[in-house]
Amino acid sequence: MSGYLAIVGLGPGDARYLTPEAEAALAEAHALYGYGPYLDRVPARAGQMRHASDNREERGRAAAALRHAAEGARVTVVSGGDPGVFAMAAALCEEIESGPESWRALDVAIIPGITAMLAVAARIGAPLGHDFCALSLSDNLKPWELIERRLDAAAGAGFVIALYNPVSRARPWQFGSAIGRLRRHLPPSTPVVFGRAVTRPREQISVVTLDCAETVEADMATLVIVGSRETRVIARPGKLPLVYTPRTAAEVSA
């Protein structure tokens, strides 16, 4: 029996951001695995088992889902946003690579979702309109020195930078430190977008400049986009500005 495992991206929150393919994978699952608050977003269906686990138990959750699928079940693992972006798809690949041979025979489907940086960018214009990169500020799985090196490289090379996981209760100082690091490379006027809980009931979007970015309250549901030297802000009366990065880049960044 070869089993089936789907890894589904739920998008940033609102059900309208769920793709029809993801919806179908949720409907046909025998069992659902995921972080509790993500599972709560999935409507209950009769006969479907649910296995909620803590945010940090990704490898254990992945292994449990794989064992279940290897018994012949149709198993769906849910992820916020896109499952391939700082999320469950890589955790599952890690388990498959180091796990029993039989896991390699499973049918695996990775079903994409709208990742947070795209949802935030769409709210405020086109900050990712030209070259950009994404970095997780969490130093749970990599050393802080590596994060600093990547911030230096990204800002120095002129990329717009999407920062995932800016803050958590266990990581209170990292965001301020990252902003300080970026100031070494970018002018104080560089636009910085904060998107909190985008597409959810308590959504909040704000735009500030790099010189005061660390004073803005960010939390675990916030994604930050730091502009490049090319990123521009169009002020609009009574509305949020439009922040965009033009499609042409004139200068070679230092």
Whole-number Å distance between alpha carbons of 137 and 140: 9
**Whose Cβ is closer to ligand SAH: residue 73's or residue 197's?**
197
Helix, strand, or coil here: 58?
A: helix
Whole-number Å distance between alpha carbons of 35 and 233: 37
Q: Does position 221 bind ligand SAH by CB under 6 A?
A: yes
Whole-number Å distance between alpha carbons of 7 and 84: 9
Site for ligand SAH in 39-68 (CB under 6 A): none
Q: Does position 197 bind ligand SAH by CB under 6 A?
A: yes
Any idea which residue has 């909620």 for tokens? 52
Give the residue nearest to ligand SAH (CB).
81
- Sign of the Cα torsion 77, 81, 84, 85 reads negative
Q: Does position 225 bind ligand SAH by CB under 6 A?
A: no
Size of the site for ligand SAH (CB under 6 A): 24
The total of other beta-carbon atoms located within 10 Å of residue 2's CB is 10
Whole-number Å distance between alpha carbons of 223 and 220: 8
Which one among 3, 81, 125, 227 touches ligand SAH, defined by CB under 6 A?
A: 81
What residue type is 11 in one-letter code?
G
Closest contact distance (angstroms) between CB of 122 and ligand SAH is 11
Sort 121 into a burial class: Cβ within 10 Å, 0-12 / 13-18 / 19+: buried
Angle of helix 88-98 relative to helix 58-70, nearest 10 degrees, comes to: 60
Closest contact distance (angstroms) between CB of 253 and ligand SAH is 25
Which one among 40, 102, 200, 212 touches ligand SAH, defined by CB under 6 A?
A: 200
Stretch binding ligand SAH (CB under 6 A), from 141-149, 169-177, 214-222, 235-243: 214-222
Closest contact distance (angstroms) between CB of 159 and ligand SAH is 17
Q: Does position 82 bind ligand SAH by CB under 6 A?
A: yes
Which one among 164, 225, 227, 243 touches ligand SAH, defined by CB under 6 A?
A: 164
Which one among 165, 174, 228, 231 touches ligand SAH, defined by CB under 6 A?
A: 165
Site for ligand SAH in 84-103 (CB under 6 A): 85-87
Question: What phi, psi does 253 have (nearest 5°)?
Answer: -65, 150
Whole-number Å distance between alpha carbons of 228 and 146: 21
Binding site for ligand SAH (CB under 6 A): 12-13, 79-82, 85-87, 115-116, 120, 164-165, 195-200, 220-223
